[in-house]
Amino acid sequence: MQAPLKKTPLHETHLRLGARMIEFGGWLMPVQYSSILEEHRAVRQAAGIFDLFHMGEIEVRGAGALELVQKLTTNDASRLADGQAQYSLLCYEDGGVVDDVLVYRLQDSFLFVVNAANIEKDYQWMSQHVTPSCELENVSDRTGLIALQGPLAGSTLQPLTDTDLSTLLYYHCRWATVGGVRTLISRTGYTGEDGFELFCTAEHVERLWNTLLSVANPPKTCGLGARDTLRLEAAMPLYGHELDATVNPFEARLGWVVKLDKPRFVGKEALARAKQIGPRRQLVGLEILDRTIARSGFPVLKDGDRVGHVSSGTFSPTLERSIALGYVPSELAQVGCELSVAVRERVVKARVVPIPFYKRRK
C-alpha cells in the first residue's frame, strides 16, 4: 500500500495562492501557481520563492562527526570552514550514486541537505557507517526550507534581516533573524541565479514565507515546474534523472566532486578504477533541432541505432529552444556531434552543445 502524500506547513497557503499540486518524492507540492514560463522568467529577471519543505535534512554531531562525513562523502569536507557549504555525493562501494547532497559545516554539527525521495534511503545508508563517537539525526520533519532566487534576491532579503548579506559569499551560510524568525541563511540555490536558501523550524515556515512576500515588490511564488526548467538550463543534475545507483560520478561529469586524495571513503576503490578507465558514457547537453521536447527516457540515436537516452528535457524559456540532458557513449559526447532522438513516432535531429545551457552574467 502506498503511504498518503505528505503536506508541507504551507499547503493551505499554496491552495489559497491558486497552486496546482502534484506528487513529488512522496509529497504533495505546488508545480505551478500561475505559469511555469512566467515563474521561470521572474527568477531570471527579478526574484522568486519556492517552498522546499520536502527536501531532507540530516544532522551529524559528535566528536567523530568530521570523520564520518569524510567516510560518507566523495568531496573533501575537511576543507570546510564553519559556515561553509559544499556540493557532494554519497556513493555505494561500486561507485554508483546514493544521492547528491549539500554538506554544511556548522558550529557543532554537519548538516546534509538531501533529495526528498531519498531521505529514508540516505538515512539508512548513512546509519550503516555511523561510529560510537558521532550521532545521526533525521531532522527533515522539523526543518523548513524556502529558496529565494534571482538577481533581486539580495535586495529583497536585505531589508528583512539583521545581517549584512554583502559579506555572505556564495556557498556560505550564517544564522540571522528574518522577520523575527531565526533563520540559517545560505547563499546557494538550484536555479543558476544568485540567491538564498533559508532554513528555519517547521512552525516558523509560514511566518518566514509571509515575511518574504510582505515587501513592496514581492518575489513571485514559484513551483516545482519552474524549479525544474531553471535547474535544467543551468545543467544541474536531478537525482532519478541524471544520477542514480547505476551512474558513476565521472559519467555525470561530477569528477570534480570526487577527491581521490582523501584517505578513505565509501566507493573510493571503485571510483579510482572508474577514473583510470575513463567513462564509457557521458552526460551531454543536447539541443533538439525540431519543434518538440525530448523527454526523460526517450532513446538517443546515432545513424538510426540506439546509443543512449534522454535523462531530462524541456523547453528552455530563456533560450526559447528545446534542450535536453542525456547519456551517450563517450566517443559521441564531443560538442557538435550530430545525433537524433526518438520522440514518440518521430525521429528528430539533435546536436551536442556545451553545458550549462545558461550561465548568468556576474
Partner 1 sequence: MAEVPKDLKYSKEHEWVRVAGDAVVIGITDHAQEQLGDVVYVDLPSVGSEISQFESFGTVESVKAASDLYAPVSGKVVEVNDALKEHPELVNESPYDKAWMIKVKLKDKKELDVLLSPADYDELVASIS
Rounded alpha-carbon distances, angstroms, from residue 28 to 10, 40, 116? 11, 21, 11
Q: Cell 522568467 maps to which residue?
A: 41
Rank residues 161 and 316 by Cβ distance to partner 1 and give the closer one: 316
User: Residue 228 CB, nearest distance to partner 1 (Å)?
Assistant: 9
- Which segments of the chain are extended strands (E)? 6-7, 20-24, 27-32, 48-51, 56-61, 84-91, 97-106, 109-114, 135-138, 143-149, 173-178, 181-186, 195-201, 220-221, 281-288, 299-302, 305-316, 321-329, 338-343, 346-353
Query: Measuring CA to CA, which residue among 140, 145, 142 is closest to residue 198?
Result: 145
Binding mask 16-55 for partner 1 (x = CB under 8 A): ----x----------xx--xxx------------------
Q: Do the Cβ atoms of 116 and 6 come closer than 8 Å?
A: no
Pick between residue 58 and residue 294 the one whose CB is nearest to partner 1: 294
Does 221 interact with partner 1 (rule: CB under 8 A)?
Answer: no
> What grid cell was written down for 301?
540515436
Minimum Å gap between C-beta 192 and partner 1 is 17
Quote the least distance from Cβ 16 to partner 1, whole Å.
17
**Minimum distance from residue 127 beta carbon to partner 1 (Å):** 37
In this complex, which beta carbon is closest to partner 1, that of residue 35 or of residue 45? Answer: 35
x/- mask, partner 1, residues 281-310, rule CB under 8 A, reads ----------xxx-x---------------
**Percentage helix, strand, coil for the chain under 3-state DSSP, each rounded to 5:** 25, 35, 40
Among 315, 327, 357, 358, binds partner 1 (CB under 8 A): 315
Q: How far is the CB of 242 from partner 1 (least distance, A)?
A: 19
Binding-site ranges for partner 1 (CB under 8 A):
20, 31-32, 35-37, 225, 229, 291-293, 295, 314-315, 317, 322, 344
